[in-house]
A = this chain, B = another copy of it.
């Protein structure tokens, strides 16, 4: 599969006519026909129903069209941003963080950093934990706040906090009537929605691993991009979801939450950085975090802080 094929398909889907799409793409109609056939061969499903005019998309084609459109747009955006960055002059400091840490103290930390270093171009990069290690090694980010534990000789890791997990239920679900902590075993056979679906491994995999370690098998598993979509699906009564405690204040009208009582049902907040950097700005960031700790913000609970652990 190549982007050229996605572009060709999008044109055909929009025009519902190979000949017109070919004109728009400035190629002849037969190569266009062949390229789409190659794409369909590679996928193993038909994307276009050619048995009537104008052409219709199949169910798979409808899905593929939306996805391909988003990917092409994403490519354009990536190109523009890459150029912008490549031609820029200010010093950048990139913070990689898992989406759920944006609910907690990261915005506060960023405020303090900006006060401390007004000329620094700070960027927040939403990024899964697994990506952060690689990203640090390749200097694509400068510090990371994630959820998943990794070991790597070049990367130093501090656990800031162990956060408990909760189950999100639609209002009215039989198991939502109690507010007692719930055992993971009660999720056996229940439909689950997990997030984020990409990149992997992610928090989604942490959840799946946690369940499979205890031999718990959900009824079905659906993957979505982000927590909002997940909670919308929960609210619709379609699935349950496991999320960190900090994220649970959402949708109080139609979603409710129960803490999971199992010992291992926690998710750490981990700060990662290159060992090389340990004496530089990282030391000052740690100090900023200590100051936040001294201010005792809600997300930084005393019992779990391990800031200076090796």
Q: Tell me if A106 and B139 are in contact (CB < 8 A).
A: no
Across the interface, name the chain B residue whose C-beta is closest to A141. Answer: B62
Inter-chain CA distance A292–B47, complex, in Å, is 37
Q: Which of A74-82, A158-166, A207-215, A302-310 contacts B (4 or more CB under 8 A)?
A: A74-82
Contact of A69 among B56, B73, B131, B226 (CB under 8 A): B131
Whether, in the assembled complex, A155 has its beta carbon less than 8 Å from a beta carbon of chain B, the answer is: no
Interface 1/0 per residue, A238-264 and B, CB below 8 Å: 100000000001111110000000000
Q: Let me know if A119 is at the binding interface, CB within 8 A.
A: no
Asked if A294 is an interface residue, CB under 8 A from chain B, the answer is: no
The verdict on A181 contacting chain B, using a C-beta distance below 8 Å, is no
Interface membership of A60, Cβ < 8 A = yes
A65 within 8 A of B: yes
Q: Which of B45, B69, B107, B197 contacts A235 (CB 8 A)?
A: B107
Closest 5 pairs between A and B when the two form their complex, measured CB to CB:
A45-B86, A60-B86, A62-B140, A107-B235, A102-B232
| 23 contacts across the A-B interface (CB closer than 8 A) | A1-B79, A46-B86, A47-B86, A56-B139, A57-B140, A59-B85, A60-B86, A62-B138, A65-B135, A65-B138, A69-B199, A73-B200, A77-B198, A102-B229, A107-B236, A108-B254, A110-B237, A111-B170, A114-B237, A114-B238, A122-B238, A124-B232, A249-B252
Instruction: Give A residues with C-beta under 8 Å from B.
Output: 1-4, 13-14, 16, 43-47, 56-71, 73-75, 77-79, 81-83, 85-88, 92, 94, 99, 102-103, 106-108, 110-111, 114, 122, 124-127, 131, 134-135, 138-141, 170, 197-200, 225-229, 231-238, 249-254, 298
* 8 more CB-based (< 8 A) A-B contacts, given A46-B86, A77-B198, A124-B233: A45-B86, A63-B85, A66-B127, A99-B229, A107-B235, A111-B170, A124-B232, A126-B225
